[in-house]
Amino acid sequence: MRIADVLPLTPLQQGLLFHASTTHTSDDVYAVQLDITLTGRLDPNRLRDAVHTVLTRHPHLLARFSDKFEEPVQIIPADPVVPWRYAELDPSTEVEEQVQRIWADERAAVGNLADQPPFRAALLRTAEHQHRFALTNHHIVLDGWSLPILLREIFASYYGQRLPAAPSYRSFVTWLAGRDRDTARAIWREVFTGFDTPPWWEPPTGGGWGGATLPPFGCPNTSPRPWVNWRAAATPPSAPCCKAPSPNC
């Protein structure tokens, strides 16, 4: 792998890397997955290219992580390649079981932070003019709140819209590394004074952390388009299911 940059980790990433190093790589407790139903005409190759375009803008989402140095680092690839999976499922069998089995494989695949990309995309054809699309990542590179932004960029690229310049990830990491951590700790200690245990996020209504249905994703009325319904799935309590308003492409 050609290397574009080597950056320090944010404090949250350091904690997640530590916990990831103490679990099995197949453990998907820190996997975040967005499961989307697409209804209508869809060009799989065009969607794959859109995913690649967006991840090329944000190559840190495909970083490798190492704790073999004095301080842990994230290694940014110079030629980012998004792991992409496409399959046409057999409608004569239980489609949902097939989908969930593949989604579980996708979540397990993002657990190997040292050797494999922590972000993946998969598209499954479940029936004529119907697909399931999943974006899966380790929480170390992306949280549930940020997934709608990424999804908006992917569909904007799919429809040929020009994307604004991407912010500099290096600038953000460098700025964060220069903050006064002692002062920050003191402020947060004061904020949480009186709490005997960490504040707990309540699971979404209607179940545990397995998923939450989100509003329909609206795309431009120009050109034939798939209709999209999306849900956040397998998001751990430390990263609450994203519940953002419906974005426009």
By residue range, what is the domain housing residue 121? 3-170
Tell whether 214 is covered by a domain: no
Which amino acid belongs to residue 97? E
Total-model pTM: 0.78
| Cα separation, 229 vs 224, whole angstroms | 16
CB 37 within 8 A of CB 146: no
Domain membership of residue 104 (yes or no) is: yes
Let me know if residue 24 belongs to a domain: yes
Structure tokens at 124: 């499954």
Provide the number of structural domains found in the chain: 1
In a domain, 210, yes or no: no
Structure confidence by residue, pLDDT tens digits, 8-51: 999 999 999 998 888 765 667 899 999 999 999 999 999 999 99
- Bridge pairing between strands 84-88 and 64-66: unpaired
Q: pLDDT tens, 159-188? A: 999 999 999 999 999 999 888 989 989 998
CATH code of the domain covering residue 8: 3.30.559.10
CA angle 51, 53, 58 (to 5 degrees): 90
Is 107 inside a domain boundary? yes
- 102 phi/psi in degrees, rounded to 5: -70, -40
Give CA–CA dist 61/146, Å, rounded. 12
Question: Is residue 244 situated within a structural domain?
Answer: no
